[in-house]
Structure 1
């Protein structure tokens, strides 16, 4: 048996060109086909299991192999036959983590992550450091979650970049919500548009405290001049979850509108994103 496995691994190396393979993917693939090697392939997760750094209430040391394999096979079958809606939020996270930690029962960890970060959106948008600090999470586990977020944002961003913003408004809102709704700090972005309302730059202007971010009208307009923008859309999030504009939000928006008028730079909208939804200051009649 050992010789057969060695032959299979050697054949795989020859067939795919080991010198060009991604080492992390090779480790993940070997762990999936030879679970007995998972401890050496993923040392940080194995170390956490061994030294008990992950609380037993959040992450059990190891589920029986036959139970884990059968449960994951059922999740895989439900996904294959029913699509994304066939799995609950914690099951999606559980399966992602199972690919990174093949010898652990990842359901308790998935549920603990969702409870801590406030839902699947909070888990996927949490920053690397916050996820790494969570008991039971190593770099391999964190990267499994963050690569899904990166792929989702790339997918949502495509129509925003390829069509006039004003004719793909819902696509813009979907992208902004996926990217910003669950952030724990306030972030300000300015979308710069050309004369055809095509996106020419998505500028990350500032990060602030839990309740405010500094943004100045002169900085927004100076940047618009540098880029040759015909119009801008202001965007920021509220970590509280409520998308309702504050008095400060309204005041700074009006300052930017007035600063842009003499230069022919329009402000199409100021969008506020929160986990509870979004608000458009233009739609609210605040311009």
Structure 2
């Protein structure tokens, strides 16, 4: 009898998803449903409650490490991998939907482009984008991975990146995986120093985007960090005026 009730419950949950989608589910319900596909025999409702109690929120469960997940009773390797996979899938999905060759002539467009690249990351990562003279993206490359609270701005790699694509206009982006998008004093100093160094090589650092833990984002150009060093002939933003 218990097996039949368990089986019927799963059928009802699946039917609710097919009928109403995830909008009808709480975070706990989503976890319960997701675990159906990794734990075929057990009651995943109770395991979902344990996960929520352990980590505090749906997003915190998905951000947990494999080791942390497997400490929860009922979560084995398959279930832990499935849960850990979700942020990676979200990042891959949103990156695939991005339009790398569209015109990026406002900070807002760039911030929306970069946000998906940092979903679920636990360390700071630096990306570089080069634009052609019409503000179309030529390439986007991950240049460096750092720690939870820092990443270097490697001028040699940035210069190589620029020369590789014969592009003079560079935009950087990095994340604050455990903080807001506000630039730290170190972010501001290193960005200004980097812009000066690149300018000497006729490479122009147009903007530096920072993405926070909740996918809030900030343009250091708009923030005023690069204002003193903005090149008068640069057309970034000008095409929208």
- The two structures have a TM-score, normalised by structure 2, of 0.74
What is the distance in 1 between the residues matched to 2:110 and 2:19? 31
Gap runs ≥5 in structure 1: 1-63
**Bigger Cα Rg:** 1
Deviates more, 1:133-142 or 1:236-245: 133-142
Question: Structure 1's 149 and 183: CA in aligned 2 closer, same or farther, altered over 3 A?
Answer: closer
Larger RCO, structures 1/2 (Cα 8 Å, 6+ apart): 2
- Aligned with 2:222: secondary structure? coil
What is the distance in 2 between the residues matched to 1:280 and 1:119? 29
Counterpart for residue 270 of structure 1: 208
**Alignment check: 8 A CA contact 1:217 1:255 kept:** no
What is the correspondence of 1:15-54 to structure 2 with a 5 Å cutoff?
A: none
What is the distance in 1 between the residues matched to 2:155 and 2:196? 9
**Alignment check: 8 A CA contact 1:160 1:199 kept:** no
What is the distance in 1 between the residues matched to 2:53 and 2:164? 44
Correspondent of 2:125 among 188, 191, 198:
188
**Alignment check: 8 A CA contact 2:130 2:140 kept:** yes
Correspondent of 1:144 among 68, 82, 85:
82
What is the distance in 2 between the residues matched to 1:269 and 1:285? 10
Counterpart for residue 241 of structure 1: 179
Counterpart for residue 254 of structure 1: 192
- The two structures have a TM-score, normalised by structure 1, of 0.64
What is the distance in 2 between the residues matched to 1:148 and 1:284? 33
User: CA RMSD, aligned part only?
Assistant: 3.1
| Structure 1 residue 141 displacement after superposition | 1.1
